[in-house]
């Protein structure tokens, strides 16, 4: 029997639209046996996640996703973390620092939008966020105002790299992100590797100490799954996976969970400490 698990999803504590408890409910409905919450730069969903998991009898774990910055890396490299201790010295403070930089970035994005003649205030963007602020909250503000119809349209017209309201990510470098997770006792995984570049970039990232790569990504084609799976095997990286579910209204709301076969799952469960 394949094992259906979700190792990559987002809640209202970052740029998702469901609470952790609602994610737990969805996981049960979709036949997902383990749910790992990987909000961007926040672990504030933990209490809700663990309470809902215990009440529903679903295995849940806390993860994280750190969107990186730096030459060639900005908005291409995202690092997922698993099995870290959120109480490690300085860990929460570092996340708070990343979130402050996101707030600064959001202010700059709003300035650019205003410069383009869009009538929008920073407070309208912030009002859409529970904690971690990101471009999706600017997209949601544009949608509320009727400027765009979807997050996708907001990215395509304004917010994606190369578009007129784009501002570079101010997140950690990949080296910092990987070190932060590993210093807290965790496993560092390259998220959706297809956005990170080609062989050269993957090799550079691996050399920074990656433990894992997201092979079974929801949006990967079968040939991408084979190629990243082969790379993981060749380099001794753990092959992980998830859908990057963000919730209703985000354009990223497919069925929760990806399927591992028994042998693959045994390797993952051992490293992540889940059964």
Sheet order of strands, 238-242 included:
238-242, 212-217, 187-190, 78-82, 59-67, 34-37, 3-6, 258-260
Are 17 and 247 in contact by the 8 Å Cβ rule? The answer is yes
Q: Does 15 bind Zn ion (CB under 5 A)?
A: yes
Interacting residue with ligand AMP among 99, 135, 192, 220 (CB under 6 A):
135
Q: How far is the CB of 67 from Zn ion (least distance, A)?
A: 8
The contact pattern for Fe ion, residues 220-249, with x = CB under 5 A and - = no contact, is: ------------------------x-----
**Does the footprint of ligand AMP cover residue 20 (CB under 6 A)?**
no
With CB under 5 to 8 Å by kind, the binding choice for 155 among Zn ion, Fe ion, ligand AMP, none is ligand AMP
Q: At closest approach, how far in Å is the CB of 213 from ligand AMP?
A: 17
Instruction: Decide if 178 contacts 209 (C-beta within 8 A).
Output: yes
Q: How far is the CB of 15 from ligand AMP (least distance, A)?
A: 5
Q: What minimum distance in Å lies between the beta carbon of 40 and Zn ion?
A: 6
- Nearest by Cα to 9 from 125, 1, 30: 30
Query: Total binding residues for Fe ion by CB under 5 A?
Result: 4
Can residue 40 be called a binding residue for ligand AMP (CB under 6 A)?
Answer: yes
Length of the chain: 275
Give which of Fe ion, Zn ion, ligand AMP, none residue 86 binds (C-beta under 5 to 8 Å, depending on kind). Answer: none
Rounded to the nearest 10 degrees, the angle between the axes of helix 20-29 and helix 46-56 is 40
Identity of the residue, 102 or 122, whose beta carbon is nearer to Fe ion in the bound complex:
102
Of 109, 67, 115, whose CA–CA distance to 124 is shortest? 109
Count CA atoms within 13 Å of residue 250 on its CB side. 22
Report which residue's Cβ sits closest to ligand AMP. Answer: 134
Stretch that binds Fe ion, among 71-79, 84-92, 141-149, 197-205 (CB under 5 A): 71-79
**DSSP conformational letter for 156:** I
> CB-based burial of residue 165 (10 Å sphere; 0-12 exposed, 13-18 middle, 19+ buried)?
buried
Which residues, listed in sequence order, are joined to residue 94 by a DSSP beta bridge?
none
Beta bridge pairs of residue 78: 67
Question: Cα(93)–Cα(106) distance, rounded to whole angstroms?
Answer: 20
From the list Zn ion, ligand AMP, Fe ion, none, partner contacted by residue 177 (C-beta under 5 to 8 A by kind): none
140 binds Zn ion (CB under 5 A): no
Q: Which of ligand AMP, Fe ion, Zn ion, none does residue 169 bind (CB under 5 to 8 Å by kind)?
A: ligand AMP
Contact 53, 60 (CB under 8 A): yes
Among 19, 32, 169, 243, binds ligand AMP (CB under 6 A): 169
From 71, 67, 60, select the one nearest 81 (Cα to Cα).
67
Which residue is listed with tokens 């679903």? 58
Give the x-and-dash track for 36-65 against Fe ion (CB under 5 A): -----------------------------x
Residue 94: contacted member of Zn ion, ligand AMP, Fe ion, none (CB under 5 to 8 Å, by partner type): none
Taking the C-alpha atoms of residue 98 and residue 225, their distance in angstroms, rounded to an integer, is 31
Which parts of this chain interact with ligand AMP (CB under 6 A)? 15, 40, 67, 75, 134-136, 151-152, 155, 169, 246, 251
Residues that bind Zn ion (CB under 5 A): 15
């Amino acid at each position: 029997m394949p094992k259906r698990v979700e190792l990559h999803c987002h809640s209202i504590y970052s740029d998702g639209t469901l609470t952790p408890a609602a994610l737990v409910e969805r996981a049960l409905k979709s036949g997902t046996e383990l749910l790992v919450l990987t909000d961007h730069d926040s672990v504030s969903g933990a209490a809700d996640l663990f309470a809902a998991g215990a009440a529903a009898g679903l295995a849940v774990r806390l993860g994280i996703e750190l969107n990186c910055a730096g030459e060639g890396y900005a908005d291409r490299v995202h690092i997922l973390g698993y099995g870290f201790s959120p109480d490690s010295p300085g860990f929460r403070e570092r996340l708070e620092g990343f979130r402050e930089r996101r707030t600064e970035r959001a202010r700059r994005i709003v300035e650019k939008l205003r410069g383009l003649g869009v009538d929008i205030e920073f407070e309208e963007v912030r009002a859409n966020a529970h904690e971690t602020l990101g471009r999706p909250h600017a997209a949601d503000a544009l949608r509320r105002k009727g400027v765009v119809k979807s997050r996708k349209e907001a990215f395509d017209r304004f917010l994606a790299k190369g578009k007129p309201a784009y501002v570079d990510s101010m997140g950690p470098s990949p080296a910092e992100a990987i070190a932060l997770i590993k210093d807290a006792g965790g496993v560092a995984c390259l998220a959706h590797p297809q956005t990170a570049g080609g062989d050269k970039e993957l090799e550079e990232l691996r050399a920074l100490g990656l433990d894992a790569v997201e092979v079974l990504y929801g949006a990967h084609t079968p040939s991408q799954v084979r190629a990243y799976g082969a790379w993981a095997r060749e380099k001794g990286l753990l092959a992980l996976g998830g859908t990057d579910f963000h919730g209703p209204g985000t354009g990223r709301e497919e069925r929760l969970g990806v399927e591992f076969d028994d042998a693959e799952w045994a390797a993952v469960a051992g490293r992540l400490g889940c059964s």
